[in-house]
Structures are given as C-alpha cells and as structure tokens.
Structure 1
Amino acid sequence: MEPYVTVGAVVVSGVVLVLAAALARRSLAPRVPTAAKRATYESGVDPVGTDWAQTNVRYLVFAFLYVIFAVDAVYLFPWATVIRDAHLAVASLVEMGIFVLVLVVGLVHVARRGLLRWL
C-alpha cells in the first residue's frame, strides 16, 4: 500500500501547487480592462479584414511528420530499457522491428510523394 500512498501524495501536492499558483496569479495580476486588451490578438498580427484565410496544406504534413517521429521516440526510449531483459528480448525486438517498419513505410511514402522537399 505504501507505493500508492506515495503516488497519491505526489498527485495531491501537484494539484495543491497548481491551485496555489493560480490563486497567486489571480491575486497579484493587475486587472484593468481596456479596449486594446479585449481585442482579438493572433501571433502579433492585428485583426483586419475578413476572418477567412487559406493556409498551405504542407504545414499540416510537416506537423503530422513531427508527431509521428515524436511518438516514435516516446516508444523507443522505454524499449531500450526492456531489451536487456532475457525473457522479453526477442519478443520486444520483433515488436519494435514491426513498429519501425511501419514508420519506414510511411516515411518512404511521404518521400515518394515529394513532401519532404523544402522548395
């Protein structure tokens, strides 16, 4: 039961710290609403014109590629610690081989479509 008490204490202390920080910010932050503060603000660009704008779809492809390889790294780090276990070594090696193969197939597909070119 001791590990659960430790985890519970860490979770409770985390929640208390977040609430304390939120309350401190609320009590210390100045509150002077002005028209400039209530205006819409997006990435340093003043809101002018219509709200319709088209974005290049290539940025979405780069975002997906980043997410795929970030998830890949998240799975590879724990696997590197499990591979040392004699009972799990072969099974985890096969599973990770399949995982990396799927990623490589996706990367080859993206490269063949020419989506990795910067120009």
Structure 2
Amino acid sequence: MINQLMKPMRAIQVTEFEIAYMLVHMLWNVQEIGCLKTSTTKLGEEISELISHELHNYYIKEMCLTNYVQRVTKLIKMIESAKEIREEVKEITTMSRIFDLFHVETVGSGLIKDAGS
C-alpha cells in the first residue's frame, strides 16, 4: 500500500480535490458491475463525466496547469492500485475466515447476537 499509494501521492503532492475526484471515480465507476439497471449505469457515466469536467476546471482555474495529462494518468494508476489492494484485502479476509486464522467481527455484530437471544 505504501509503494502503490502513499509514495505516489506524496511524489505529486495530491490535493484534497484530487482525492475527492479519486473517491468519486471509484464509487461511480459502475461499468464493471453487470447486474445494474441501465439507468444506474447511465447515471454513473454522467457522474464520471461531470467529475472529469470539474477536475479539468480545477486544473485550469485553480492550479493554473495547461498540461495536466501526466498528473491525471498518475491519479488513474493510483485508483487502479487502490482497487487491487481492495481485492487483496477481500482475498485475505476470505482466506482467514476459511482457515479460521483471525477472528473477524463486524461492527455491531454483538448487538445482533444480543437481540436474537
């Protein structure tokens, strides 16, 4: 995680706006999910387009950058790295549950058990 996310973020000094862009992009990039309604997929595309325009305006007006393609490319690479890390964490969690390596408890699970008693 440090080599794939933290170091690149420090190297280009990612701004809060860019972090918000990456988070919104990860949340609304829904093309990979096959079971969604067409309207949801269309909404995801519209939001992706909107945040791309906002990022463009931010670079041009706020940061006064005219050539920001390399910066956006690095942001996209960080987004992909975050997705890979998320998948690795899912795999580790699944494996730990299968082999009972760690006790994984979800938030509020004690409340559910107490309510059922």
| TM-score by shorter chain over 0.5 | no
How does the TM-score come out when normalised to structure 1? 0.29
| Bigger radius of gyration among the two | 1
How does the TM-score come out when normalised to structure 2? 0.29
Q: Which has the higher contact order (CA 8 A, sep 6+)?
A: 2
Larger fraction in helix:
2
